[in-house]
Structure 1
């Protein structure tokens, strides 16, 4: 079987596959099995403590109540990959997945390989596919426009006029740190909502764990959580209240040197950073016809169109924590149990044809 993606989802899938007595091959586009973590902005800090931000079988070193930063997570994933006894092929990007006539799949890579597989785990998540909206006049705007995925550090904005679009954790965290160097406005559709980082002397994630809220299914969550909220110790709320950060309704268009706000007021602006989320990074599945407007047809990570195809790392895949370090391990166990049952139940006819197909790459990835 093949796992596409070697970040947190792919590594969790690999460990769960071994538990299910499968021998997967992990295909990772980058130089290391770290997913997108090395590419996030320098100061990125998790909003969940180290004790909760872990994959199955290995805790973080050090204080379990600290909030790990980007480089700590990268180091953690590097160590985790070394504990998982599977083949990981780096610098191997999957370009397409096709169904095979005798069952299973044929996975094509940019290295020219065609790998036969009884099952496929699409664990590429969404962070490799940032969503950048297009507004009127954007092509004529002379300033800097980028997604937060391309943001690294605040000093490059010193003395400039900057707008950060978004009302989630990343938007507020980035806007706050740039505000120490530049004049910054948060552009949002609605006022920013905050959740306290700590309640009763405990981090919010403690309460999510003990109450079971972290495991609530999507159908329940979507009724309870209708708006994005920012986890805050009070620092971000105070920044807005004091005027260090300002907030306005999101602008409606660009001009050559700035934006037009919702009330019709134009303003010159040097840079706009969109913290507008991500979309599933699954273009390689288009040949299968399993995507609906680029979103996979699945329930709980199990494909509803193709037996032997499962997903990991999708937002709200099974719970609030599905695409996070603390939640992806549970989802991995769920989908890998289903995939192992499918693989073990496949008819054994056609074994030679499968072996012949796999021999073109020197590796049989059936199991």
Structure 2
């Protein structure tokens, strides 16, 4: 059994930011537990061409500037390399290949049990695993009859494997648009979504959208609950919208069911398809917290701003709209981590 001041579960952007800031709040012996073979969270598993919609200057974690031109939009591999470099500087003992099985609080102490049987204890624990480990798959009738492939965006890497095929991409967010645009270069591609695509200009009045969010303080304003209800918008400087037009990627209302050869649209028209690719997001789950007391009966975190309300010494970092519009982003996790750590402060 090993003891620490603080245990952070998850070594993605949220966990790394939390561990980096922890000493400022009295936590000196800190463990960072990561299920994967290296730090970086879900970033190494994202599709090859993924491009951030925030410039490098707004994509940094606490204490380390994102390198290179601050006005460029970094690609996936740049983020992966940045997180690797950041992890080397984090003042914590990072344990990779350590998947957490359960977390319990008893006698004023937290016990974290790994799936391999190792046990760790600490006075405080922060869950920073996010939601990218649980792809959401909508329940559409007839899926079991479909003779093609149904994939999630989590399984997608590059368009080459889909050359010459008929692909229906499901989703209306940034990832769905990026994937559909590049699939359109090699495949007969249709974009299916429940509502028309809501486009947001990437550089209104010549300034990046994130510059405006920071200047207006919409990132941290109390209207965050209202923002959480606003339909997802696709941030674009015109590149992706033009690409969809150029490659003939048509948007259609979501299909109603699968057939053995494809899908059926709302008007009853049938469409043949080889692949249906679901860019339908992820769901927040914490299977290792089922016996912790930190979750409600529905499995959702019981918290206020990331501070657990049902158990002492426990927090969350990296949840969407946890405290602000940017809580789930590279630029926002550090702010939330500092808030949570300040309230779990040791000493």
Aligned to 2:176: 171
Aligned to 1:74: 80
Among 123, 127, 136, the alignment partner of 2:128 is 123
1:98-177 aligned at under 5 Å gives the runs: 98-100=104-106, 102-177=107-182
Contact 1:157/1:182 (CA < 8 Å) preserved in 2? yes
Aligned to 1:231: 235
Among 307, 325, 339, the alignment partner of 1:320 is 325
Cα deviation digits, residues 149-181 of structure 1 (max 9, x gap): 110001111111111111000000000000001
Cα deviation digits, residues 275-324 of structure 1 (max 9, x gap): 11111131100112433323211111111111111001101111111011
Among 261, 266, 284, the alignment partner of 1:262 is 266
Aligned to 1:28: 34
Aligned to 1:96: 102
The answer to whether the aligner puts 1:43 opposite 2:49 as a matched pair is yes
Secondary structure at 2:290 match in 1: helix
Among 8, 11, 14, the alignment partner of 1:9 is 14
Among 271, 292, 299, the alignment partner of 1:294 is 299
Aligned to 1:18: 23
Q: Which consecutive unaligned segments of at least 5 residues does structure 1 have?
A: 345-367
Q: Counterparts of 2:90 and 2:245 in 1: how far apart (Å)? A: 48
Among 281, 284, 296, the alignment partner of 1:277 is 281
- Residue 243 of structure 1: how far off its partner (Å): 6.5
Among 217, 227, 231, the alignment partner of 1:212 is 217
Contact 2:34/2:95 (CA < 8 Å) preserved in 1? yes
- Residue 242 of structure 1: how far off its partner (Å): 5.4
1:58-73 aligned at under 5 Å gives the runs: 58-73=64-79
Contact 1:127/1:281 (CA < 8 Å) preserved in 2? no
Q: Counterparts of 2:125 and 2:63 in 1: how far apart (Å)? A: 23
- TM-score, normalising length: structure 1: 0.89
- Greater displacement, 134-143 / 73-82: 134-143
Q: Counterparts of 1:289 and 1:307 in 2: how far apart (Å)? A: 10
- TM-score, normalising length: structure 2: 0.94
The answer to whether the aligner puts 1:181 opposite 2:181 as a matched pair is no
Q: Counterparts of 1:202 and 1:316 in 2: how far apart (Å)? A: 24
Secondary structure at 1:162 match in 2: strand
In the superposition, relative to structure 1, how do residues 76 and 242 fare at CA in structure 2: closer, same or farther (>3 Å)?
closer
